[in-house]
Homo-oligomer: A and B are copies of this chain.
Amino acid sequence: MKEFQLIENFFSGRGPLRRDVLLGIGDDCAVVQPAVNKSLAISVDTLVENVHFLPAMPAADLGYKALAVNLSDLASMGAEPAWMTLALTLPEPDELWLRRFSEGLLDAAEYYGIALVGGDTTRGPKSITITVNGQVPEDKALTRGGAKAGDWIYVTGTLGDSALGLQLLQGKHDARSEHREYLIGRHYRPTPRVLAGQCLRGLASSAIDLSDGLMSDIGHVLKASGVGAVVKVEDLPLSQAMQDTVSPEFAQSLALTGGEDYELLFTVPEAQKGALETSLSQSGVKFVKIGQICAGNQLKLLKDGEPFTPENLGFEHF
């Protein structure tokens, strides 16, 4: 099958219609029209087989997740998804796999309103690279760098579910069937907090998405902002499925280090706390205060007032 036909067969003429896409897939470049008075947020993520996903991962879930992890980066900046490119490397053109992968990817694309405008398909070991473009009002992009001592620390959703879902897939735990379905779903189909991120604009002092695990990711905020933090481990939000499946200590360790939550962590000054809670509750996403920014450069974990050291379950490429 010819290279351009792969893209055309499975991805052209589908996904959301955006009037700002002047020229879609099929020429040397796509051409899109940026909105006036907005900046462009750009991010790229690669998923490699046997590194980021196992060969057994269902193709539709992989397509969904490959986009979702990129949308999570846009969410953390408060940006609205707009356009994306897909670079797909496959050992062979497996049409059934491609149909399912493209369905999952385009499901996510339609839900979040992002148009696939360009692609490249190559032969090689299976990997997926997606570059996303989002738009954010000028000077309103959220960054990791604005947290100040005294700001409150919040997270959306519940933490650790994805890591526990992976452990269920690996046969390391047992869970009731509805919990198992929920937790594996959290691993395969993360929910980027796109609307929540937009609700934080002008209110949060910093934001980041939780991809590597809370401890690792909050470290990026502390470094970029030049501050420290105290996190109360007993306040970390845990799902019922998590609580019913593992011990509290193990659940808290997963919540701190498990990774792949794709929830938002953000900080908010006391003066904006009420306005932010009002704004964010409109997004329909659960959120909870888990700690406070302080002077220094250290992260302190307290559980019922005592220092807490999690079992280290984090991961890092290279």
B87 to A122, Cβ gap below 8 A? no
Copies of this polypeptide in the complex: 2
A239 at the interface (CB under 8 A from B): no
> Any chain B CB within 8 A of the CB of A30?
yes
Identify A85's interface contact among B42, B48, B51, B92, CB under 8 A. Answer: B42
Query: When chains A and B are docked, how far (Å) is the Cα of A316 from the Cα of B86?
Result: 19
CB-based contact B120/A27 at 8 Å? no
- Residues from chain B with Cβ under 8 Å of A224 in the complex: 26-27
A76 CB within 8 Å of chain B = yes
Q: Is A52 an interface residue (CB 8 A)?
A: yes
CB pair B2–A42 under 8 Å, yes or no, is: no
Determine chain A's interface SS by DSSP, over half rule.
strand
Q: Find residues 124-150 in chain A having any chain B CB closer than 8 Å to their own CB.
A: 124-125, 127, 129, 131, 133-134, 136, 138, 141, 143-145
The distance in angstroms between the C-alpha atoms of A254 and B49, with both chains bound, is: 37
How far, in angstroms, from A122 to B134 measured CA to CA in the complex?
A: 23
- Docked CA distance A32–B2 (Å): 35
A316 touches B3 (CB 8 A): yes
- The stretch that binds B, out of A33-41, A170-178, A283-291, A299-307, is A33-41
- A residues sitting closer than 8 Å to B (CB atoms) are 1-3, 6, 22-23, 26-34, 36, 38-52, 72-74, 76-77, 79, 83, 85-87, 89, 92-93, 117-125, 127, 129, 131, 133-134, 136, 138, 141, 143-145, 208-209, 224, 316-318
